[in-house]
Structure 1
Amino acid sequence: MTAQAGRPSVRGTAPDLFDKFQPLIDQRAALLAGGLTDPFNLVMERVESPTVAICNGRRTILLGTYNYMGMTFDPDVIAAGKQALDEFGSGTTGSRVLNGTYQGHRECEDALREFYAMDHAMVFSTGYQANLGIISTMAGKDDYVILDTDSHASIYDGCGLGNAQIVPFRHNDVEALEKRLKRLPADAGKLVVLEGVYSMLGDIAPLKEMVAVSKEAGAMVLVDEAHSMGFIGEHGRGVAEAQGVIDDVDFIIGTFSKSVGTVGGFCVSNHSKFEILRLVCRPYVFTASLPPSVVATAATSIRKLMSGGAKRTHLLENSKRLHGGLKELGFTLGTDEPQSAIIAVIMPDLERGAAMWEALLHEGLYVNLARPPATPQGMTLLRCSLCAEHSGAQVGEILGMFEAAGRKVGVI
């Protein structure tokens, strides 16, 4: 029926679907009005190494890339990618359960099984999809997902896709987790989701205690080790290894976009029924698989990380020196002591945080500007992620840049 036939037209009365973003649009416009470089749209014109790029025409030290082990320019990694590109082409054009499993995907999963000394490994197209897929598949409508309030967006989205009951508990609070678990039905399916290192503040979870109370309550445990793989633990297997509970964890989720130095995600497990997930996990079944060159670089990088002890030691030294130096300069940091390769510098507000970010960029240093609602407790953070390839001289340069920018902006 047309409007002329008696049905009133509603054209022009419906709200613009962008209206819900108007506060953010206004905030961004206000920040950029004074000529501020857009901190969320920086272009790197050339990348020279894991620690240096050309940004806005000048040499810039990279301190916000999550390239923890500096594998992006490793000669063996690059050679493996080039060879796979030549031999298998640029892409798979299919999902893993159709035509998207190449020899390289199996070799990458073999490398993961060897790295973690586990029975099963499943490679996803991104780390986000790994969380989305495993959580949504394992925890359904009548199940419970118990998670830390500071959990990554992919964890929350995995809960939403699976339609599970979400039970949050206070960040890194073992007692709060135990209380939540005791309130749940004893016969209900329960999945406790934790992270080894939390990406905003760089703090570490008390996994030893949390895994113990979770198992006591009959829950399965998933640990996201995205920001600890390669660096933390004797073999670089993450916080679960470092705290001696890796054998008690049911699933470990990780990503290739941090220490591995490429893109993709994975889940490893010792559960005897794990392989059925390849047929029932929708984000795995219905997504095109990673290009052959990507899984080749990932497999090569993972195998090299197995002997990365010297790099891990150097990265820890860098973290201690930068954390101590920033603290001595008078900056407020996210942790009292260095716990990971992430060091969060807390800013008084978004405006001064953005000004400090630009002042650092002008000095020749790139860091991440993190803002609410992504950050805990409404904080504005300058998030620094160190690399094992940063030299001692570069860490000294970084401290000098922070001091100059901090005094210019009035933060210190």
Structure 2
Amino acid sequence: MSEGIMQSDRPETLEGDSKDLFSKFDETIELRRNLLSSGVQDPFSLVMEKVLSPTRAICNGRDTILLGTYNYMGMTFDPDVLEAGKQALDDFGSGTTGSRVLNGTFQGHKECEEALREFYDMEHAMVFSTGYLANLGIISTIAGKGDYIILDIDSHASIWDGCAMGNAEVVPFKHNDVEAMEKRLKRIPEGAGKLVILEGVYSMLGDVAPLKEMVRIAKENGAMVLVDEAHSMGFIGENGRGVCEEAGVIDDCDFIIGTFSKSVGTVGGFCVSNHPKFDIMRLVCRPYVFTASLPPSVVATAATSIRKLMDASEKRAHLWENSKRLHSGLTEMGFKLGTDKPESAIIAVIMPDLEKGAAMWSALLEEGLYVNLARPPATPANMTLLRCSLCAEHSGEEVETILQMFENAGKAVGII
């Protein structure tokens, strides 16, 4: 075909008629512009120039306490973890340059999966390149067209994206509402495939799911159960296996999904299961098959960290102490929190609106404290939150300093 014919076949587009594909973001662009024009620092562009420890970093040239990193067990600077990563770099190089089903499975990947099987006392474990990919891959593969997914309305974006990718019928229910979940389950057509998806700890408010009741009802109604334990692994439960363990239902959960980017202290995701057919997922799960595997240094640090978390009861106890103290201290000052009592390592401080929230975030940073500013649509009920995630390496003195910083910033902004 000649060039002239190709050109003549193209539809004519008049100048100004083409749609700007970025128009859909205009409201967000304007919101960000107005926020920055008020004089606050950009909450979503913070740069850590140097990380000093699990609890401190240099931000904007200042020594800053970190209270928004999800580094719950403080494993990012553990000497054994760092040494394992350095050794893997020397022995295996910087990356795999391939998928797990091709050239991307190194000895470290198998050792990491073995550590997960031991940690959870389960038969099968799959490691993904991120926690997001773990949810995307497992959910979209096991629940497809004609199947039904019953899930909490406040589920993480990666869960919703996994549902969309798999084309299953999605039936949401009100957050942590056991009765609403049961009603949805009973409406599912008889004989249909059913998957109930829950989270142990919900990351915005830091509240815990009533898994004991929910898992029981799911099983009574013939559903499989998937629980995302990203924000409870390593910390909650006698052995750190999460809310499933704490609630005594871990053996009734068909799939447990988690991430290495929280308590484990690196990057990656995983799924563990006792299902006898689970291993076929390695051949049919697209986000596993078509993604390059994690670098050798990452799986080495993850495996070492997971094994150390098996014997971390003292760190878990200290983290609970930190959570209880921060929650009580902020409550006494008059801040409105996401939960009536400490339920996890996440303490959510509810702000009156986005403008006040951004001002409070900026004031805290000026005090030398970093927290997460969370806003709609990521947050439930259109709330603006300052999300604090405590670390087992925060000292008691640091927690008291954090409370003083909140008091100073809260009074300066006019929130308390």
TM-score (ref. length: structure 2): 0.98
Query: 2:105, 2:17 → 1: CA distance?
Result: 50
Question: Alignment partner for residue 41 of structure 2, among 37, 44, 63?
Answer: 37
| Structure 2: distance between partners of 1:20 and 1:307 | 49
Would you say 1:215 and 2:219 are equivalent positions? yes
Code of the residue aligned with 1:120 in structure 2: it is H
RMSD over aligned CA atoms reads: 1.1
User: Distance in 2 between the 1:6 and 1:155 partners?
Assistant: 41
CA distance in 1, matches of 2:102, 2:292: 9
Aligned to 2:185: 181
Q: 1:406: how far off?
A: 0.1
Amino acid at match of 2:373: L
Please point out which of 224, 236, 241 is paired with 2:240.
236
Q: 2: distance between equivalents of 1:197 and 1:7?
A: 53
Q: 2:252 pairs with 238, 242, 248, which one?
A: 248
Amino acid at match of 1:37: Q
The 3-state SS of whatever aligns with 1:333 is coil
Cα–Cα, structure 1 residues 54 and 186, in superposed 2: closer, same or farther, change >3 Å? same
1:58 to 37, 57, 62: 62
Structure 2 residue aligned with 1:282, among 271, 279, 286?
A: 286
Partner of 1:397: 401
Q: Distance in 1 between matches of 2:46 and 2:57?
A: 12
Which runs of 5 or more structure 2 residues have no equivalent in the other structure? none
Q: SS of 2:30's equivalent? A: helix
Q: Which amino acid aligns with 1:100?
A: G
Match of 1:122 in 2: 126
Deviation sequence 1:41-74 (CA, Å, 0-9, x none): 1000000000000001111000000000000000
User: Helix, strand or coil: the match of 2:64?
Assistant: strand
1:396–1:279 CA distance, 2 compared to 1 (3 A): same
Looking at structure 2, the residues matched to 9 and 189 of structure 1 have their Cα atoms a distance apart, in angstroms, of 48
Q: Where in structure 2 are the equivalents of 1:68-87 lying within 5 Å?
A: 68-87=72-91
**Which residue number corresponds to residue 154 of structure 1?**
158
Deviation at 1:261, TM superposition (A): 0.1
Which ranges of structure 1 fall in alignment gaps of 5 or more residues? none
1:280 partner amino acid: V
Q: Structure 2 CA distance, aligned partners of 1:154 and 1:5?
A: 42
Deviation at 1:12, TM superposition (A): 3.0
Whole-angstrom distance in 2 between the partners of 1:80 and 1:63: 26
Query: What secondary structure sits across from 1:373 in the alignment?
Result: coil
Moved more, 5-14 or 211-220: 5-14
Q: 1:103 aligns to what?
A: 107
Post-superposition offset of 1:2: 7.8
Alpha-carbon offset, residue 89 of structure 1: 0.2
In 2, the alpha carbon distance for the partners of 1:287 and 1:37 equals 36
Deviations 1:197-234 (A, max 9, x none): 00000000000000001001100000000000000000
Aligned to 2:335: 331
Instruction: Classify 1:280/1:405 alpha carbon distance in 2 versus 1 (closer, same or farther; 3 Å).
Output: same
Q: Secondary structure at the match of 1:48?
A: strand
The residue that corresponds to 1:322 in the other structure is 326
CA distance in 1, matches of 2:115, 2:235: 17
Could you list the structure 1 runs, at least 4 aligned residues long, displaced by more than 2 angstroms after superposition: 1-12
How many angstroms does 1:342 deviate by?
0.1
Aligned to 2:137: 133
Could you tell me which of 21, 24, 27 is aligned with 1:23? 27
CA shift at 1:35, angstroms? 2.8
Contact 1:3 1:9 in 2 (8 A): no
Between the aligned partners of 1:405 and 1:242, the Cα distance in structure 2 is 36
* Residues 352 and 100 (structure 1), Cα distance of their counterparts in 2 relative to 1, 3 Å cut: same
In structure 1, what is the equivalent of residue 364 of structure 2?
Answer: 360
CA distance in 1, matches of 2:6, 2:364: 60
- Report how far residue 6 of structure 1 moved: 10
Aligned counterparts of 2:240 and 2:10: Cα–Cα separation in 1: 70
Matched with 1:143 is: 147
Q: Which amino acid aligns with 1:375?
A: T
* CA–CA distance in structure 1, aligned partners of residues 13 and 261 of structure 2: 50
What SS does the aligned partner of 1:54 have? Answer: strand
2:370 and 2:239 map into 1 onto residues whose CA distance is: 30
* Alignment match, 2:197: 193
Instruction: State the secondary structure of the residue aligned to 2:53.
Output: coil
**Match of 1:373, as an amino acid?**
P
* 1:11 CA displacement: 4.4
Match of 2:382 among 374, 378, 394: 378
Aligned-residue sequence identity (percent) comes to: 77
**How many residues are aligned here?**
412
